[in-house]
Amino acid sequence: MRSFLFAGLDALRLFWPQGLAVVRLRRSPAETMAAGTPDSQARFGQSVKGLLTEKVNTCGTDVIALTKQVLKGSRSSELLGQAARNMVLQEDAILHSEDSLRKMAIITTHLQYQQEAIQKNVEQSPDLQDQLSHLLK
């Protein structure tokens, strides 16, 4: 707890580099007698210490929350970068697929031409067989 308190004081020095100024008010001797008892000063010191500890704890909690947000933000940018890389890979795959489809369309056209030529040859085949059988007789 003591080291955490000193760490909190160091954090406070970041925000108030000139240090925490102690304001002393001049009191009348009667006020000094009434308010200056050691018991009331001890209670006042304890309450100030408690408030300071509470503020330090709050600052520590805020720093932790800020750190988590920064880490979350850096993780988000990392995830966005990964998503961008994946998108580029998908785009390349799509372009490759388009190229393959174009090539397949060209091959399909050539196969259709070959089928038409074969069909024409098959249709002419009986005529050629008749002519061949006539020649061989």
What are the pLDDT digits (tens) for 66-120?
888 888 877 788 888 899 999 999 999 999 999 999 999 999 999 999 999 999 9
SS3 sequence, 56-100?
Answer: HHHHHHHHHHHHHHHHHHHHHHHHHHHHHHHHHHHHHHHHHHHHH
* Number of domains making up the chain: 1
**What's the pTM?**
0.41
* Interatomic CA distance for residues 85 and 97, integer angstroms: 18
State the residue range of the domain holding 119: 2-136
For residues 91 and 135, the model is more confident at 91
